[in-house]
Every structure is written in C-alpha cells, then in structure tokens.
Structure 1
C-alpha cells in the first residue's frame, strides 16, 4: 500500500507535484503553507482534505507517512529533521547552508530505516543514468573535462521573496548550480577539491522589486572546479536570457564525449567515422570498428521505443530498419546490450549471484519492482542511430509522455525547465515502485532509487556552493572541505521548530 503524503509548500513545484503523485496512486493527505489564505486556497484548488499553517499539525497527521518539502531553503532543515524524528520518510530540496545540511545528515544517520532523499531530479533522467553507465564502462575514456551551460529567463517573482536574497538561498548558483555540481560527481565519481567562481547580480531591481529593496542573489554565475584525478569542470549559469532555455552538460574523455542536451543524450567518438561497439559498451574499451559503410544506412534508420532501465524484465525484438518493440517476460530481468554496427539489441540474462538473491523474499521484492506496472507505464526512451556530419550521434531520446496537468497546474508546469519536469515525473514513478516493493532505503542498492541523491550528497553540493561564493568574494581559488562528524548520543529529531 502506498503511503499517504504530506506536502510542505504552496509554490510552483507543489502545483505540479500533487497531480503527479495522484497519477501514480499516492494519496495527498495534507498540505502546509506559510499563510492561512495561501494554503486554504491551494488546498481547495487541489482538493487536499487537510491543510494547516502549523508544522506539527501536518507531521502528526496519522495518514501521513511520507513528507515532500518544497519551501524556502531557510525553512527546510527544521521540517526535515523533525519529520525524521517522528518517523516520517522525507524527500526535500536543498536547505540554505551547509550547517543546515550537516544537521539533516546527522538526523538521517539516526533513522537509517527511513527514506531521506535530496531532490536532485536530474539524477533520475534516463539520459544521465545511461551517461553514467557509459562513463563507468570506459566508452569515452577517463573523464578529463566537464562543461555545463544553463540559460534561461529571470528566476525572480513579481514581488520580493526569498529568491531575491542570497542569504536565504536565492540565486542561480544555489538553485541550479548545486544540482549541476552534484550531477558532475554522480556521473564521474569524482569530487571537487578546489573551486573558483564569479557571481554577479545584473538585475538589482525589477518592476516588482524597487525602492529601498534590491536583489542580492546572483543571476549570472560562472565557476570552475578541480576534481579528483585531474578532472576539471566549467559551469556557466545565465538567467538574463528571456525566451531561451538551454540545459547542456558535456563530459569529455580521452576517446570521445557524451553530451546531454535537455533530456537527450549524444555520443561522439574521436577519429574519422569511428563508433563504439557493443563490447565497449559492456566494458571492453579497446573494441571499435570502422563504420564508413554504414553511414548511408544509418540515415535510413527508423526510431523505435524501448524502456530505459537495465533492471526491468524486457525483451527487445528487432523490427525492420531497427525499429524496436518492447515485450515483457515473466521471469528474469535482462540488460540491453548495444551493438552499433547494425544497431542490434541482444538480451543478456542477469544471473543471481548468491543465495540471498535466490531467496523467496528477494525474488518477491524484485517481482514487485519489475511486474506489469512497467507494461502500463508511459515511460520510454527512443534509441536512435543517426549520425550528424560532425560525427555526433543521438543515442537516447527521452520520449516519456508527460501527463496532462489540470488547468490549475498547467501554467505552473510551464515554468519548470523541461529536464527538471521530466526528472520529477521519473522520480515520482520510482518512488511508487520502491514503496510497492516495501524495500527500505538501507536495502535499496538494487532498486530504482539507488541513483537518488541523499542528504550526504546535499551536504557536499552545498559545501561546494559556499566555496564558490567565498571564491567570488576573495577572487582566488579556495579549497573544498566537506564538514562532517559522527552522530552523538543525542537525538536530533527532537529539536523544536
């Protein structure tokens, strides 16, 4: 049975999240807002049965087992810590500071049986999960350079809010940069050791923010990171470009590059007309082949749909000109193995490695993950074989059908950049799979949420964010030192808010 959910927040994300949760079968039981009028209006609009401006009223609601927190960063810590302390699972956005994040980490350590996730929904996109697999298999060689660009319109609302204040967690670096930092480490497995950055506030006043008030949060940010192993990263965030939405991340290795544009993934292998073979995608890095003879046929390849998840039970039947069709089997989960020369798809059975995986309990849990719900699912990607004149190849397109939002949520969904909206859709879907299987977070190594960011990841990303802010003030490179200590005998969940 899926848990009842209490949602904290009345902003854009909440207006989109509530319909997504309901579409996956979750019950939204309670809603919290900062003002009575605000929360009452939204609860009526979203048909949420209970609402309050008191934190305890929502947390102590016996129908609420999972708490989703989408509120100003300065309030996140106190609600997340108290939620864990009274036995609620938590999915939340970043807090305002690394000190807040450290307190959340300590609370999560006291209650390891509870779900405690930081909401970097980009990790759940099929493009980034596939990119990580290919990097781990050495398909583009060792990561040398990471480059990201995020462009868009102003992040500010019509009136003065926390988004205008750097100290309250506002600004491009905190809102988007933290998740890009986490994503780079997620993809490469390498952490930042030194940081250098420049933060600017180009629009200090707007039509809705004027007079004695002015904006202190950054709307332009560029920073560089020195990662483990000699890898470097360069990121540019520019929210002074109305009418434009750019979200691109590129990982350059010794043999090629992987580029995620929006929710789609592209591959380029160095050298003339050289592409990567299925053996390289399985981990044999030295097997390549010349595909000069295939260039013309690749232009005629047709698109096909397949599900992007190595662990679901699937069988891909090759159709004419590589148009793919998905069939599901009853028994063993299978992996898709790519063979670029004729874009064949083979299936490789994943054998159980030990007695635990062969146990009835394990098989029962796995069946819950990989049953016919995926057959009903709208989640899919397109595997494409077209190669552009510059040798870049589109290898994955996220064709997941976005849900039809009610009119009250449609305008809000248009304000969320598409990669984040798609990531939110995938996150909610996989939350459902985990709770249906009854798998606790500490036993979630082989479940869909193994890619999700934890509170520890949130602590790391905020530490790097603060290092970049400090570098911008000092105009020099600074070291990144993640704080941490073992939990003491006290109970952090009991702290009053």
Structure 2
C-alpha cells in the first residue's frame, strides 16, 4: 500500500528523513549521493543501498516515490526523469530557482496526473501552531501588517559545528541513517567538490532567503488566502564571505568567496487590502532557530513565538493576552507547555510527540536543521502517508484504476514552486536595484 522510497541527497536532512519515514512505516530502498571522496566511495562499495548513480535509484523496481533533497541545481533533472518513468516525486526546500527548469518540472507533472508531484517548503503550515494562528485570524479584524523576525545559524558555519559533533561518534554502518552521518562527516572534513561549496553559492540556490524566506512566503500566501504579492523591496547581504577552518584545521576553498546571503530583510505588499509583510532573517546570531511572527489587525494581534501562539485583544485600550493551545482554545494564564499538550486518551498523538522529542536538541548536532522544521516535515510526511492510503482506496474502488488522479489537496505542487520563486527572484532584483520591484507572474 505504501510506496518504496528512494532518496536523492546525503545532507543532514536526509538522515532525519530516513528516520521519520521509518517511523511512519515507509521502506527506504536506495539513497543517492554526489559526494566522491575516497571514504565515501568505499562506503558505496560496501553498501547495497547507497549509490552515486541517479539511474540506479530511479530504475530500482522497489522505489515508487523519490525524495529530492540534494542541491537545487539537480532538482529539475531528477524530477523530470522520475516522473517520466512513473515515479512519484517530492522535493524539499531549498528548491530549484531557475524558471526554465521549474517550467520543465511543471510540464512533466501535468503530463502525469496519476503521480504525486509535490514540494515541501519547510512544513511550517502543517504545524498545529500555524493551524491555531490561521483559525484565529477572524479575531483581529482587518489585517494591516505582519512582522516576522528569524534568528538562526549561519549555514556554512553550521557544517563546521556538525563536524565537531560527529567526529567522536562511532558509526553503525549497517544502519542507513548512520551511513549518511558518516558521509556528512567525510564531507565536512574535506574540500570535496559538491560538498560545502553549493551552500556558499547563491547561483546554486543557497542563502537564507531561498532556505527560510521562501518557506515564510509560502506560509504567508497560504495564511492570507486570496491575496497576491504585487511588489517587493529587499536587501540581501553576505556579511561573512570567507570559509571557516574545517574540522581538520585547514581552511576549505581558500580561493573561493561565499556569495550566498547570510542576512536578508524584505517587504511584501499584498493586494487586495494593501497588507504589508516585513521579514528579517539573520543568520549571524549563531543561535538556535527562533522566530517571532506578529500578525497585526484592526482589533488585535496574533503572535507566534517559537512553539506558542498568543492572542492580544484590543479592549478599551487594554491589552488582554491569552495563549492558544493545540485544541484551539484560549487560556487566560499563558502556560509555555500548553501548545504541546497531548490528550491522555490519544495514544497515537502521544507516540508522535515521544518520537519528535528525540529531535528536541537536534540543532546541537545539526545547526542547519531547526526543530520546528523537523516537526513540520514530520506532519507533512504524515499527510503524504494519508494521501497514499486514500489513493490506494480510490484505485481499489474504481473500474478505471489506471486513470485515477492522485488526491494531492493540501500538498503544494510545482506550480506553487514557480509562484514562490517568482517572488524570491523579484526580491533579489530589488536588492540589486535598491527599489520597489513589481512582481511579474
């Protein structure tokens, strides 16, 4: 009933993906890496599941669903090939930014409506905090402004910290997620082509705008349904443009410069209603990921701070604050644990929370993987599982099972990718030209 999995990419997100898929009862049959150092080649020879050939994964008869979580410039090639031979495809952010390549992905997806073709922009909108926020928008009246502040780790520097965390680890190379860890250790201690360098190159899709900004834009457009970004203003900076020393004490890529943005701020103007969105993303804080989202309306404010959602009501010029729990109820006295409260009589929810608690400190080892995004990915994959079960039932009850379209409601498709990347490209243009830029769809 559930499809076999093939994974393209060996970044830290692949390790988490393997573990979550295993928890959700998916089987991973193959993983592709483009890392080519000597130790990784030896790992490939000793493992039947790891390969450096794209076709080996795609032609594996046990693989029906592929996850593309490698560097963005490979996304179009892999997606179009996979859909062309009848494989379902899911891309993880950061995704392909070239418009021509995105169009190729869209054409392939339209040609095969019976296959799933989806993109996961961080999974923020699958979190119950986001659901609470969206369901309470009617309490604050007409939305005027939304302010979003994000502090996080510098992605390039994060690989150095990851090396230090993994260097003393003993690996069980009969476990696929441990093999991915070993590959990441090899990458962070060498200057292997295709390892750290794409994370530093804005032309390959790196930078905080494409990684976190795109996820925020996707969430905003879903939250404010019916509204469209008409113009943008952005400022992107690369404030740290040299590579740090790697785990072996050497400086990698000394002849290269980092071009990916590590700080960005941008404004979006949404119509109708002239809603202004202000976003600031700072990776120079060198801290665990944290965000504060303030949605300001004519009658109140909704705040999403990390894992808690608050409602501030304007009542006779007094501020009455209440926290919104996971059941969408308000309580007068905020309790920081309310948002993650699990009903005692719901064993499935308890098992889910127990599993996710294993990743509560994931940023200590993998600073580039915010816990909030790991949770979002989990609930996104849970939704994908439900859709495949629904699809199986639809085919079983249909006389023409071969023509039943995949039920992809609530899963973003490649056309959504084009929409988000159009806005992102406009922000890049605005930063270069230092002016408001209209978004041309």
Same topology, TM > 0.5: yes
Equivalent position of 2:130 in the other structure: 128
Equivalent position of 1:51 in the other structure: 50
Provide closer, same or farther for how the CA distance between residues 304 and 38 of structure 1 changes in structure 2, counting only shifts above 3 A.
Answer: same
> Take 2:338 and 2:128, find their aligned partners in 1: how far apart are those partners?
17
| C-alpha contact (below 8 Å) 1:209/1:215 kept by paired residues | no
> Take 2:232 and 2:254, find their aligned partners in 1: how far apart are those partners?
35
Structure 1 residue corresponding to 2:348, chosen from 376, 384, 392:
376
Pairing 1:177–2:213 present = yes
| C-alpha contact (below 8 Å) 1:13/1:412 kept by paired residues | no
Equivalent position of 2:299 in the other structure: 255
| C-alpha contact (below 8 Å) 1:151/1:247 kept by paired residues | yes
Within-5 A mapping of 1:14-33: 14-33=14-33
Equivalent position of 2:380 in the other structure: 427
> Take 1:123 and 1:466, find their aligned partners in 2: how far apart are those partners?
22
Question: Which stretches in structure 1 are left out of the alignment for 5+ residues?
Answer: 283-290, 308-323, 328-374, 381-398, 483-497
Equivalent position of 1:213 in the other structure: 256
Equivalent position of 2:356 in the other structure: 402
Pairing 1:462–2:421 present = yes
Larger radius of gyration: 1
Provide closer, same or farther for how the CA distance between residues 105 and 134 of structure 1 changes in structure 2, counting only shifts above 3 A.
Answer: farther
Partner SS for 2:203 = helix
Equivalent position of 1:81 in the other structure: 80
Report the RMSD for the aligned CA atoms in angstroms. 3.2
> Take 2:428 and 2:30, find their aligned partners in 1: how far apart are those partners?
37
Within-5 A mapping of 1:107-186: 107-120=108-121, 121-135=123-137, 138-156=138-156, 157-158=159-160, 160-186=196-222
TM-score, with length taken from structure 1 = 0.68
Partner SS for 2:350 = coil
Provide closer, same or farther for how the CA distance between residues 22 and 253 of structure 1 changes in structure 2, counting only shifts above 3 A.
Answer: same
> Take 1:421 and 1:141, find their aligned partners in 2: how far apart are those partners?
32
Q: CA deviation at 1:111?
A: 1.3
Equivalent position of 2:179 in the other structure: none
> Take 2:97 and 2:18, find their aligned partners in 1: how far apart are those partners?
24
| C-alpha contact (below 8 Å) 1:8/1:32 kept by paired residues | yes
Partner SS for 1:270 = strand
Pairing 1:268–2:222 present = no
Residue correspondences, number = 376
> Take 1:443 and 1:165, find their aligned partners in 2: how far apart are those partners?
36
Partner SS for 1:464 = helix
Question: Which stretches in structure 2 are left out of the alignment for 5+ residues?
Answer: 161-190, 245-250, 395-403
Partner SS for 2:139 = coil
Provide closer, same or farther for how the CA distance between residues 461 and 304 of structure 1 changes in structure 2, counting only shifts above 3 A.
Answer: closer
Q: CA deviation at 1:442?
A: 4.9
> Take 1:150 and 1:379, find their aligned partners in 2: how far apart are those partners?
30
Equivalent position of 1:417 in the other structure: 370
> Take 2:337 and 2:221, find their aligned partners in 1: how far apart are those partners?
34
Equivalent position of 1:243 in the other structure: 287
> Take 1:302 and 1:215, find their aligned partners in 2: how far apart are those partners?
40
Q: CA deviation at 1:116?
A: 1.1
Partner SS for 2:258 = coil
> Take 1:95 and 1:304, find their aligned partners in 2: how far apart are those partners?
34
Provide closer, same or farther for how the CA distance between residues 325 and 35 of structure 1 changes in structure 2, counting only shifts above 3 A.
Answer: closer
Provide closer, same or farther for how the CA distance between residues 214 and 261 of structure 1 changes in structure 2, counting only shifts above 3 A.
Answer: same
Deviations 1:369-394 (A, max 9, x none): xxxxxx434367xxxxxxxxxxxxxx
Q: CA deviation at 1:471?
A: 0.5
Partner SS for 1:77 = helix
TM-score, with length taken from structure 2 = 0.76
Structure 2 residue corresponding to 1:203, chosen from 222, 240, 251:
240
Partner SS for 1:34 = coil
Partner SS for 2:427 = helix
Moved more, 94-103 or 409-418: 409-418
> Take 1:26 and 1:478, find their aligned partners in 2: how far apart are those partners?
44
Partner SS for 1:139 = helix
